[in-house]
Amino acid sequence: MPLKALPINCTLKADPGKSSSTDAMIAVLAKAFAKKGVEISETVRVAALDIKPGVTSDEGDGDEWPGLRSKILAHDILIFGGPIWMGQIGSVAKRVLERMDAFLGETDEQGRMPSYGKVAVAAIVGNEDGAHGSSAQLFQALNDVGWTIPAVAACYWVGEAMGSVDFKDLKTTPEKVEKTAGMVAGNAAHLASLLAAKPYPG
Amino acid sequence: MPLKALPINCTLKADPGKSSSTDAMIAVLAKAFAKKGVEISETVRVAALDIKPGVTSDEGDGDEWPGLRSKILAHDILIFGGPIWMGQIGSVAKRVLERMDAFLGETDEQGRMPSYGKVAVAAIVGNEDGAHGSSAQLFQALNDVGWTIPAVAACYWVGEAMGSVDFKDLKTTPEKVEKTAGMVAGNAAHLASLLAAKPYPG
Amino acid sequence: MPLKALPINCTLKADPGKSSSTDAMIAVLAKAFAKKGVEISETVRVAALDIKPGVTSDEGDGDEWPGLRSKILAHDILIFGGPIWMGQIGSVAKRVLERMDAFLGETDEQGRMPSYGKVAVAAIVGNEDGAHGSSAQLFQALNDVGWTIPAVAACYWVGEAMGSVDFKDLKTTPEKVEKTAGMVAGNAAHLASLLAAKPYPG
Amino acid sequence: MPLKALPINCTLKADPGKSSSTDAMIAVLAKAFAKKGVEISETVRVAALDIKPGVTSDEGDGDEWPGLRSKILAHDILIFGGPIWMGQIGSVAKRVLERMDAFLGETDEQGRMPSYGKVAVAAIVGNEDGAHGSSAQLFQALNDVGWTIPAVAACYWVGEAMGSVDFKDLKTTPEKVEKTAGMVAGNAAHLASLLAAKPYPG
């Protein structure tokens, strides 16, 4: 069975019709994952869902996290896409991370969280500066709640300091981004296949 | 005219009836500010408002940021209160920061953002670890969009590593927190009064 | 062949005779790793070595990084131990990270850095607050230069906010720290053994 | 009496003869400060000094921190210059921050640290990404130990993601950097003059 990856797009734009640079970066990674034989599900536009604030797995009343949570856990690889704002990962991404906090209390008899054995990578874009700070936040939070981070797990693009160019408007994908996407996808696919075959014993 | 401070509470709990540790920390700071002659407005429970994702000052359609934005800018001092989740400042706080990104484009003829001359301090609580990382994020983002940070601007409490005690359930406020609150309030009030008398020339 | 783990202690104290809380945390992890059959080498007290500032693998003139670098790369698992100062990972730890920057240019024909297939975990201690911010920095930097981060890779302890108790002076190791050490060691050993058997193809 | 500013350059290069991008950014800021009537002292190349690891104000035995500490405290404004490595502020900058930790215990009868009333700004450069994360670390640490952060206190430049251009090799200073330097200098000079005239009461 092929490995499956789910891209989530944490842009601040709720309308999936509105193109987003995060989508553009996810597309670069999706192509790289496809080359490694990984099946890519349709990207989830998180801001289009009603993800309630909170740290439980179901905040009731129209909360759409339970559905997204199940979808995430039905995949081997999470492509966590998000934009940089003010040099930091955006609030929609933070909301998703927060909801995963509940994993800490959802361990099986071997003490394993639902995320154990799953691999996460980051797809980060911004007009300028903030990718490393953003991936630091993502990796720490995701790792705390059980995700495994493969070697070179961040694919990112930002323009020159105080710039205003959008990644989606670049005429061609920068070669270094393409190359990084290949490394990220190759490493993630390799690690996910190892863990799928031999899960953490807990 | 006395200086005015606005506390905002970025807890994830939307219901203002539900007590929050962030409220408890804000109360400690409010008392300290009152001692310095600063007038404290009623705390805004941000999660009770519909603050849309985005980076403009009005995201339309029921967006309650414009009202909160006006209220914030009608005060000299912002007491930015927020909880730690996963070792990081929560998503509701991030949402507020993001909306202030618009200040960058709202300068007057002297190039001054609407926040110029205003002073911000942090009120941070968590069961455990994450206060310094949270204040780092707050200070950098707030400073980027024009806020001034007085000496010793963070009042915080967290319990021992991996603990689960809530600040609001402590029998007494720890002496070090009381003392820090006094420093934060004294420094913020002093600096805000200087800037109110002699604004940044731009 | 058993897996081998190297603990490095990035305390600010140069004298290995001076006991350090980081050593105490490394000891907790070392015991947990030993239980998983991992062979633990003697801890390197980094501040006792002359690690020059720089981003190459040899800064000449008495630089002791080349020796430490070789030792690190001769192990499957790195136990990266460091103290928190000012809510952040200390400068000696930062020095070590910086020197690994050179890995980016030391890839083999398959584009793999010398760290590929190796697993890193964090052992972090402080009197108070800063563990999550520190592990965020460690994970992002280590991951950028090729290290793989197993699920739940940080074992840490900090006291209550603004506290002054040292981890090494605790009468007993807190149960949650023991438990976390077991998870960190188990996950790291499992992942390192998978990667030792089937390295990243690059 | 004119205000005095001290630039410190936390490049990893010990040899002051070797030009550094951090020097180039400091030069942009120094010019902007001079225009505001601030007197700029000669830049300290920190890596050329023997700043011992530690958190006291004198680590004995050839430690050159006591001299640098006195120099810093003899100025009204600190221009804290440092390079980004691995998306984070470098280890030499971290060393300086750490040594200031001692300020916490060096308060006067009014509870004021030696840094009270002094203003700090950041001059940050890198080939690519990491300026916001770096300024977050600087602002939080400096603020914790008593420094005041004026509105818009970071002047920075980084190139496009994964780029390798050095700031010192740019043919002209980007207009946005020039403009930011003007804001940083203007705000810092204004705030420092207010605090020099009316110090924090403590």
The complex's ipTM? 0.97
Do D33 and D119 form a contact (C-beta atoms < 8 A)?
no
Q: How far is CA D53 from the centre of its chain?
A: 19
Q: Per DSSP, what are the bridge partners of residue D151?
A: none
Residues of B in contact with A65 (CB under 8 A): none
Residues of C in contact with D145 (CB under 8 A): 86
Q: Rounded to a whole number, what is the distance in Å from the CA of D177 to chain A's nearest CA?
A: 8
Place of tokens 């599900």: A41
Which residue from B86, B131, B180 is facing C129, i.e. has the nearest CB? B131
Which tokens belong to A98? 């927060």
> For residue B1, what pLDDT is reported?
86
Contacts of D25 (CB under 8 A, 6+ apart): D81, D123, D124, D125, D155, D156, D157, D167, D177
Chains that touch C (3 or more CB pairs under 8 A): A, B, D
Which tokens belong to A188? 């993630």
Do D120 and B151 form a contact (C-beta atoms < 8 A)?
no
Give dist(CA D120, CA D10) in Å, integer. 15
Cα nearest neighbour of D186 on chain B: B202
Contacts of A55 (CB under 8 A, 6+ apart): A98, A99, A101, A102, B12, B85
The 10s digit of each residue's pLDDT in D141-162 is: 999 999 999 999 999 999 999 9
The 10s digit of each residue's pLDDT in B80-97 is: 999 999 999 999 999 999
Give dist(CA C149, CA C151) in Å, integer. 7
Do C129 and C51 form a contact (C-beta atoms < 8 A)?
no
Domains: count for chain A: 1
Tens of pLDDT, residue by residue, chain C (202 residues): 899 999 999 999 999 888 899 999 999 999 999 999 999 999 999 999 999 999 999 999 999 999 999 999 999 999 999 999 999 999 999 999 999 999 999 999 999 999 999 999 999 999 999 999 999 999 999 999 999 999 999 999 999 999 999 999 999 999 999 999 999 999 999 999 999 999 999 9
Do C155 and C177 form a contact (C-beta atoms < 8 A)?
yes
- Domain encompassing residue C49: 4-197
> For residue A66, what pLDDT is reported?
98
Which residue from C129, C160, C174 is facing B132, i.e. has the nearest CB? C129
Picking from A1, A110, A78, the residue whose alpha carbon sits closest to that of residue A69 is A78
Q: Tell me the three-class secondary structure of A90-138, residue by residue.
A: CHHHHHHHHHHHHHHHCCCCCCCCCCCCCEEEEEEEEEECCHHHHHHHH
Give dist(CA D143, CA C126) in Å, integer. 19
Give dist(CA D82, CA D89) in Å, integer. 7
Residues of A in contact with B87 (CB under 8 A): 140-141, 144
Q: Could you tell me if residue C122 is inside a domain?
A: yes
Give dist(CA A104, CA B86) in Å, integer. 10
Q: Rounded to a whole number, what is the distance in Å from the CA of A87 to chain C's nearest CA?
A: 15
Place of tokens 């953002």: B113
Neighbours of D14 (CB within 10 A): 18
Q: Any chain D CB within 8 A of the CB of B27?
A: no
Those of residues 137-176 in C touching chain A at CB distance below 8 A are 137, 139-140, 143-144, 146-154
pLDDT beneath 70: ranges in chain A: none
Strands A88-89 and A77-85, bridge-based pairing: antiparallel
Q: At what angle do helices D131-144 and A131-144 cross, to 10 degrees?
A: 70
Give dist(CA C164, CA D65) in Å, integer. 24
Cα nearest neighbour of C104 on chain D: D86
Q: Rounded to a whole number, what is the distance in Å from the CA of D14 to chain A's nearest CA?
A: 26
> For residue C79, what pLDDT is reported?
98
Which tokens belong to A30? 């999706």
> For residue C57, what pLDDT is reported?
98
Give dist(CA C42, CA C59) in Å, integer. 25
Three-state DSSP at D98 gives helix
Picking from C125, C141, C130, C133, the residue whose alpha carbon sits closest to that of residue C86 is C130
Which residue from C12, C90, C98 is facing D86, i.e. has the nearest CB? C98
Residues of B in contact with A90 (CB under 8 A): 53, 94, 98
Q: Any chain A CB within 8 A of the CB of B84?
A: no
Contact D190 B183 (CB under 8 A): no
Q: Could you tell me if residue C202 is inside a domain?
A: no
Residues of C in contact with A151 (CB under 8 A): 113, 115-117, 143, 146-148, 200
- Mean pLDDT across the stretch D96-119? 98
C-alpha triplet B148, C128, B172: angle, nearest 5°: 85
| Banded model confidence at residue D1, pLDDT cuts 50, 70, 90 | confident
Q: Could you tell me if residue A202 is inside a domain?
A: no
What CATH number does residue A154 fall under? 3.40.50.360
Q: Could you tell me if residue B38 is inside a domain?
A: yes
Give dist(CA C122, CA C97) in Å, integer. 13
Give dist(CA B63, CA D133) in Å, integer. 30
Q: Any chain C CB within 8 A of the CB of D46?
A: no
Q: Could you tell me if residue D28 is inside a domain?
A: yes
Catalogue the E-assigned strands of chain C: 4-9, 39-40, 44-45, 77-85, 88-89, 119-128, 154-159
Tens of pLDDT, residue by residue, chain B (202 residues): 899 999 999 999 999 888 899 999 999 999 999 999 999 999 999 999 999 999 999 999 999 999 999 999 999 999 999 999 999 999 999 999 999 999 999 999 999 999 999 999 999 999 999 999 999 999 999 999 999 999 999 999 999 999 999 999 999 999 999 999 999 999 999 999 999 999 999 9
CA distances to A27, A29, A148, A168, B195 from A40, in Å: 10, 10, 19, 20, 55
Q: Could you tell me if residue D202 is inside a domain?
A: no
The 10s digit of each residue's pLDDT in D119-141 is: 999 999 999 999 999 999 999 99
Q: Could you tell me if residue B202 is inside a domain?
A: no
Averaged pLDDT of chain C: 97
Contacts of D86 (CB under 8 A, 6+ apart): A132, C97, C98, C101, C140, C141, C144, C145, D130
Q: Tell me the three-class secondary structure of chain B, residue by residue.
A: CCCEEEEEECCCCCCCCCCCHHHHHHHHHHHHHHHCCCEECCCEEHHHCCCCCCCCCCCCCCCCHHHHHHHHHCCCEEEEEEEEECCEECHHHHHHHHHHHHHHHCCCCCCCCCCCCCEEEEEEEEEECCHHHHHHHHHHHHHHCCCEECCCCEEEEEECCCCCCCHHHCCCCCHHHHHHHHHHHHHHHHHHHHHHHCCCCC
Contact D132 A158 (CB under 8 A): no
Which tokens belong to A55? 């740290």
Cα nearest neighbour of C103 on chain A: A152
Taking the model in full, what pTM does it have? 0.98
> For residue B110, what pLDDT is reported?
97
Q: Could you tell me if residue A161 is inside a domain?
A: yes
The 10s digit of each residue's pLDDT in D66-101 is: 999 999 999 999 999 999 999 999 999 999 999 999
Which residue from B13, B141, B145 is facing A88, i.e. has the nearest CB? B141
The 10s digit of each residue's pLDDT in C38-63 is: 999 999 999 999 999 999 999 999 99
Which H or E run includes C2? none
> For residue D19, what pLDDT is reported?
84
Which residue from C55, C87, C90 is facing D12, i.e. has the nearest CB? C55
Q: Per DSSP, what are the bridge partners of residue C120?
A: C78
Q: Any chain A CB within 8 A of the CB of C195?
A: yes
Give dist(CA D155, CA D181) in Å, integer. 6
Do B140 and D136 form a contact (C-beta atoms < 8 A)?
yes
Contact D159 A160 (CB under 8 A): yes
Cα nearest neighbour of A198 on chain C: C194
